[in-house]
């Protein structure tokens, strides 16, 4: 029972942080996602809207290999700044 309550409260907190998009922006991103499998693809948007620690696609090369990077955690960025 307590586990369900804990999961429910963390889920509510997570949903509050979800990025909300207007229809035109959402449509643009859907079309962008369809191009992910194209050779030579490089995403236009950067990782600034992603949560710290999230992995994201950086490019798809001519051999259809996907390359990913990870957005820094806040602790990592703080440690490098010192």
Length of the chain: 82
- pLDDT tens digits for range 27-74: 877 776 666 667 788 877 778 888 899 999 898 888 889 899 999 987
pTM for the full model? 0.51
End-to-end distance of the chain based on CA atoms, in angstroms? 44
Domain definitions of the chain by residue range: 2-81
Torsion sign, CA atoms 27, 28, 32, 33 = negative
Residue 5, helix vs strand vs coil: helix
Confidence of residue 82 (pLDDT cuts 50, 70, 90): low
At 15 the pLDDT is 76
Higher pLDDT, 66 or 12: 66
pLDDT the model gives residue 28? 77
Nearest to 63 by CA among 42, 43, 32, 40: 40
């Amino acid at each position: 029972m307590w586990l369900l309550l804990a999961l429910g409260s963390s889920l509510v907190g997570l949903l509050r942080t979800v990025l909300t998009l207007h229809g035109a922006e959402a449509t643009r991103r859907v079309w962008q996602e369809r191009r992910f499998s194209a050779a030579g693809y490089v995403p236009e948007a950067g990782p600034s809207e992603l949560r710290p620690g999230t992995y994201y696609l950086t490019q798809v090369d001519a051999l259809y290999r996907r390359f990913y990077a990870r957005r820094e955690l806040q602790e990592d960025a703080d440690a490098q700044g010192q």
